[in-house]
């Protein structure tokens, strides 16, 4: 009898304007048993609508957030996320994923665990299992 894999998170939300990155990141998450249910959004407004529409059972526990998005950026998402009711955001972990960490000093305040306790990691692209989980 085959055992069902145990996942780190019940679901994830990938927020990136690159559908290719969303696809590749979903493969990394599934192949490494990080999560099986994966939602994707290519902009902040879509991500927020999707996140709020999901029930507590299906809501993602992990969010991979690209900071460089068209129209509204990752900071806009974080700002809106912080305004959501605590019962919706409690226990959610956000991993910031960016191709330009070295160029963006503005990311450093996000590493402050006291101000932003839901920020799990700040990761430079490309995403790997090792970068996310270690």
Q: Is 49 helix (H, G, I), strand (E, B) or coil?
A: helix
Contact 37, 10 (CB under 8 A): yes
115: burial class by Cβ within 10 Å (0-12, 13-18, 19+)? Answer: exposed
Biggest alpha carbon distance in the chain?
51
pLDDT of the residue at 122: 84
The band of 109, judged by pLDDT with boundaries at 50, 70 and 90, is low
Strand partners, 37: 11
Q: What is the pLDDT of residues 42-87, one digit of tens each?
A: 999 999 999 999 999 999 999 999 988 989 999 899 999 999 999 9
Q: Which has more pLDDT, 126 or 102? A: 126
Q: What is the pLDDT of residues 116-129, one digit of tens each?
A: 788 888 888 999 99
Please state the domain extents for the chain: 11-133
Enter the pTM of the model. Answer: 0.89
* Superfamily name with CATH number, domain 11-133: Response regulator (3.40.50.2300)
Q: What is the pLDDT of residues 1-28, one digit of tens each?
A: 566 678 899 999 999 999 999 999 999 9
């Amino acid at each position: 009898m085959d055992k069902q894999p145990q996942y780190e998170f019940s679901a994830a939300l990938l927020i990136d304007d690159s559908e290719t990155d969303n696809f590749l990141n979903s493969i990394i998450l599934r192949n490494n048993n990080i999560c099986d249910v994966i939602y994707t959004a290519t902009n902040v407004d879509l991500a927020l609508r999707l996140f709020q529409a999901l029930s507590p059972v299906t809501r993602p526990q992990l969010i991979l957030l690209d900071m460089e998005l068209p129209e509204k950026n990752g900071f806009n998402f974080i700002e809106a996320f912080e305004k959501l009711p605590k019962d919706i955001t409690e226990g959610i972990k956000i991993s910031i994923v960016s191709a330009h960490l070295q160029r963006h000093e503005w990311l450093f305040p996000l590493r402050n665990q006291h101000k932003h306790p839901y920020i799990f990691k700040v990761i430079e692209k490309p995403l790997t299992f090792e970068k996310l989980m270690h």
